[in-house]
Structure 1
C-alpha cells in the first residue's frame, strides 16, 4: 500500500495520496474490528475464503502494477495547484479492497491482536475493543497523512524521468507482490 500511496501523492498531490491511504485506514479498521470484536462471521469468511481472497488480491496487485508500467506518468495536479479530497474519492474503495484482500494485512492484524490479547489478558469489554479499533485506524491515518505530506512536499523537485522511474519501480513492486501471491496460490492448489 505504501507504494501505491507514494505513487498517488507524486502524481496527484497530497489529497491524492491521502485518499489512497483512507481506503487502507478503512480496511485496517474492518480487519481490526473483526479481530477485536471476535466477529465470528467475518473471521469464518476470511478463513473459509482466504485462498480466494489471496488470489483476488494478487490479481488486483498485478493489474495495478501493469497499469503503472504501461501508462505515461504525469502530474495531474501540478505542484503549484491545489486539489480537494473530493477530487480523489474513487481510489478509496480500490485501496480498501486491496487492504482487506491482502493476506499480509489480514495475518498481520490477527497476529497483532492475538499478541496484544496474550500480553494484556484479552479485550474484556466492547469499549476496550472499540478503543483498539480506533487506535489502529488513528495510527494508520497518521501514517498516511505523514507520508502523503512528505511526498507532496518534495514532488515539485521531480523531473519527468524521475517520475517515470518512480512509476516503473512502483509498478514492478506491485506486479511482483501480486505475482508472488498468485504463484503461492497456484503452488498450493496445483501440486
Structure 2
C-alpha cells in the first residue's frame, strides 16, 4: 500500500476510534445526562444541547490531557481530585434540591424559538461537573492510553489533535441525539409528568452528589 494511502487509512481509523471513545464516555447515565434530559424537557433542544456542550468541552479537555501527555495537568487533577470531588458533590446536591422545588412547567414552549446563547449558563456548570468526576478523568486517561497502545502510539501532535477533535465529535453526537429525542416528545408532557421528571432528576442528582461526598470522605478517612 502506498504510504499516502496508509496515512489516510490510519487517519480514518483514528477518527472512528475517537468518535467511539467520545460516545463511550458520554453515553453512561450520570449527572450530566440527567441534567441534559431535564434541560431539554424544560427548555427544549437548545437547552439540552447547551448542557451537552459543557460536557463535550470537559471531555475534550480530558482527552487533550491524555493525548498530548500533559502530565503536569493530569497530575494536578489527580492530586486535587478530592477537593474537586467534594465541590462537585455539593454542586450536584444544590442542583438536585433546586429541581425538587422547580415549578413543573416548560420554560420554552413547544414550537417557541430559542437560541443556544439563551442557555449559555449551563455550559460552565456541566463542564465543571465533567472534569470534577474522578471516574471520567481516570476513564478518559485509560481509554486514550489503551487506544494509543493499540495503534502503536500517537506519533505526531496532528494525530493527537485529530483524536481529541474526534472524541469531542463523538460526545457531541450523543448530546445532539439525546437533546433531539427529548425535544421531539416534550410536547406530550403534562404538568404531573413534568413534576415527576423534576423529582426524579432532583433525586438522582442528590444521590450522585451524596455518593461523591461519601466516597471522598470515606477515602479521606481511610
Q: Please say whether Structure 1 and Structure 2 have the same fold, judged by a TM-score greater than 0.5.
A: yes
Partner of 2:94: 63
Paired position in structure 2 for 1:124: 155
Q: Report matched runs for 1:147-166 at 5 Å.
A: 147-166=178-197
Find the counterpart in structure 1 of residue 166 from structure 2: 135
Instruction: Quote how far apart the aligned CAs of 1:152 are.
Output: 0.4
Aligned-residue RMSD, C-alpha? 1.0
Q: Distance in 1 between matches of 2:101 and 2:142?
A: 37
Say whether the 8 Å CA contact 2:54–2:125 is kept in structure 1: yes
5+ residue gaps in structure 2? 1-31
Which whole-Å CA distance do the structure 2 matches of 1:39 and 1:129 have between them? 12
Deviations 1:5-25 (A, max 9, x none): 000000000010011111111
Q: Which runs of 4+ in 1 moved over 6 A?
A: none
Q: CA deviation at 1:62?
A: 1.2
1:144-190 CA distance string (max 9 Å, x none): 11110110010000011111111111111111111001001111123
Structure 1 or 2, whichever has the larger Rg, is 2
Separation in structure 2 between the aligned mates of residue 189 and residue 102 of structure 1, nearest angstrom: 16
Answer yes or no: is 1:169 the counterpart of 2:214: no
Aligned to 1:182: 213
Q: Which moved more, 1:100-109 or 1:9-18?
A: 100-109
Point out the more displaced range, 10-19 or 103-112: 103-112
1:40 — aligned with what?
71
TM-score (structure 2 length as normaliser): 0.83
Structure 1 unaligned segments of length 5 or more: list them.
Answer: none
Q: Using the alignment, how far apart are the partners of 1:43 and 1:118 within structure 2? A: 18
